[in-house]
Amino acid sequence: MDLVEITAPDFPVVFEIAYATANNFTGRPVYARAATWLHHDAAAALRRAIDLARPQGMGLRIFDAFRPSEAQWVLWNHTPDPEFLADPRRGSPHSRGVAVDLTLVGADGRDLDMGTAFDAFTPLSHHGSLAVSTEAQRNRLLLLGLMTAAGWDFYRNEWWHYQLFDARRYPVLGDAVLPVPMMPMMPKA
């Protein structure tokens, strides 16, 4: 399997996997259990980002990483908005294991102000939004610089989303590739 589990202490980040809780735009858990997986290429880029953030007195909080294709369908069926969600028929970089949703945390463990919450489906979430505070713009640019220096590409509509540059070369994967499923068990017919 080309996916590796992202866990502490190997990856010293804060885990807050939003889709394993009701604290996401659907208002209910999508995953049955919180887990963080990435393709080994993306895991190496995440490690570089962690190493770049540390000397700055910062860390990373991860909201989502590998998202089984079944979960992408749940999100799309709830809110089919191509400005903020990849159409699962084309495949999401998350469902390929090469995308991560995250933010920066300060030395005190608190999130830096990014102007909107994670998964705020509004133009205020766009990287180039001038409608958020100067501090939020500065923090977004700091995250952008750190992540691009570590080898990540960004999605212009979501300040929190980063993916490998060649994401489409990786296959779309479902929950079955994991040793322990993330998705809820479906009742048998």
Catalytic residues: 158
> Which residues neighbour 87 within 8 Å (Cβ) at sequence distance 6 or greater?
76, 80
Q: How far is CA 26 from CA 55, 80, 111, in A?
A: 36, 12, 22
Calpha distance 73→49 (Å, rounded): 29
CA–chain centroid gap for 145, Å, is 17
Q: Which residue has the tokens 């994991």?
A: 178
162, 152 contact by CB (below 8 A): yes
